[in-house]
Amino acid sequence: MNLSIKIFISLILSVIVGLIVGESALPFINWWIAPIGTIFINLIKMMIVPVVFCSLVVGMTSLGDTKKLGRIGLKTIGLYLVTTAIAIVIGFGIAGLVHPGVGLQMTSDAVVKVKEAPSIMQVFVAMIPANPVASMAKADILPVIVFSLFVGVGILKVGGERAEFLVKFFDACAEVSYKIIGIVMQFAPYGVFALLLPVVAKNGPAVLLPLISVIACVAVGCIIHAVCVYSSLAQIWGNHTPLQFFRGMSEAMLIAFTTCSSAAALPVNMKNCQEKLGVSRDVSSFVLPLGATINMDGTALYMGVCSLFVANVFGIDLTMGQMAMIVLTGTLASIGTAGVPGAGLIMLAMVLQSVNLPMEGLALVAGIDRVLDMFRTCLNITGDGAVAIVMDQEEKKHAAKVARNG
């Protein structure tokens, strides 16, 4: 049976069993079952640093060489980052309106301290690791991300055979990390059951509504982002009406929705962008694979919604500083998210960790993650298409200018 179905079944089972046994069984559950959930959370935590480090290094090196980071590369990356940050803000906005998770009070063993918001300069200083190994040991995510980006750029600068060796090495390490996560995820149905059972036994039916509201927030957020941001870009730059744009994108969107993988949708996205939306082969073959690797607006939006959800569930008021931190780490985390099903969940663990939100919240999200993945992957690849249209027009303008100036 498919893993996501198993996880979903364990979510349903935990609700049914929790409702039947109720609060009276809590001592037994806390003694015998809850630790299994803690083991699952620890296994996920174990993989955060390796997967972030390796996949970000690979993400940077996938740019090919630093020259490619020139005109088209920088603009593309800039546009990807801006739309990603907007996506998280939309996620925050919707979750701020709907308040998913409010009323479902969970407590965490991890002491949740709401830190005072650091100043923006403090955030920047803290981003630069004086000792990357110490940052890794403490799972201080932001400095680890910055270090990974530097390693990636360093490898690109070295170039040649030695760099190729390192690219292959880190690619293999990333692959190994994902394999381990795959093994850990096999354990997810039990972990999710063990984590949710105490919550349902304690809270009763009140746990169901928040989960439905998380799905609604992510789905509506994705639709708003696609319609307002992407179809405006396609209209302003490419002169495509929203209908033309979405019709052109529809096949790739459908594949993304059903496979939950940007990588799987890439070939169809390339074909359709060229044939249906008039993007040149040059631009699409650079912008789309890069986008499938680093541009994950749906994943970012999901991180915004889910981190507010987890904060609500644990009764934590996020400060502005923490929200800014989520936008920053969420944007960077989405770069490091692989275009495969479920990758965003692991990166969510990292975002939660960066602002000290309890990791137990992950279990609630994990139960419905497949459904959320469908929406976010669909948005991820739609964003790649929109940016490809913008870059294509920019390149055409540039070529026309060059021709005019002789």
The binding site for ligand ASP (CB under 6 A) comprises: 260-262, 296, 299, 337, 339-344, 373, 376-377, 380
Residue 131, token pair as written in the block:
């000792």
- State phi, psi for 359 to the nearest 5 degrees: -70, -20
CA 212 to chain centre: 20
| Residue placing its CB nearer to ligand ASP in the complex, 34 or 388 | 388
Helix or strand or coil: residue 110?
Answer: coil
- State phi, psi for 133 to the nearest 5 degrees: -65, -40
| Residue placing its CB nearer to ligand ASP in the complex, 200 or 253 | 253
| Residue placing its CB nearer to ligand ASP in the complex, 142 or 260 | 260
Residue 6, token pair as written in the block:
């198993």
End-to-end CA, the chain: 63
Q: Minimum distance from CB of 344 to ligand ASP (Å)?
A: 2
Q: Minimum distance from CB of 341 to ligand ASP (Å)?
A: 5
Q: Minimum distance from CB of 366 to ligand ASP (Å)?
A: 12
Q: Minimum distance from CB of 291 to ligand ASP (Å)?
A: 10
| Residue placing its CB nearer to ligand ASP in the complex, 261 or 269 | 261
C-alpha span between 283 and 390 (Å, rounded): 10
| Residue placing its CB nearer to ligand ASP in the complex, 166 or 268 | 268
Q: Minimum distance from CB of 369 to ligand ASP (Å)?
A: 8
Q: Minimum distance from CB of 406 to ligand ASP (Å)?
A: 44
| Residue placing its CB nearer to ligand ASP in the complex, 144 or 253 | 253
| Residue placing its CB nearer to ligand ASP in the complex, 202 or 376 | 376
Q: Alpha-carbon dihedral of residues 11, 14, 20, 25, nearest 10 degrees?
A: -160
C-alpha span between 388 and 159 (Å, rounded): 27
What's the one-letter identity of residue 208?
A: L
Asked whether the beta carbons of 219 and 305 are under 8 A apart, the reply is: no
Q: Minimum distance from CB of 376 to ligand ASP (Å)?
A: 5
Please name the residues in contact with 307: beta carbons below 8 A apart, sequence gap of 6 or more: 318, 326, 330, 348, 351, 352, 355, 357
The residue at minimum Cβ distance from ligand ASP is: 344
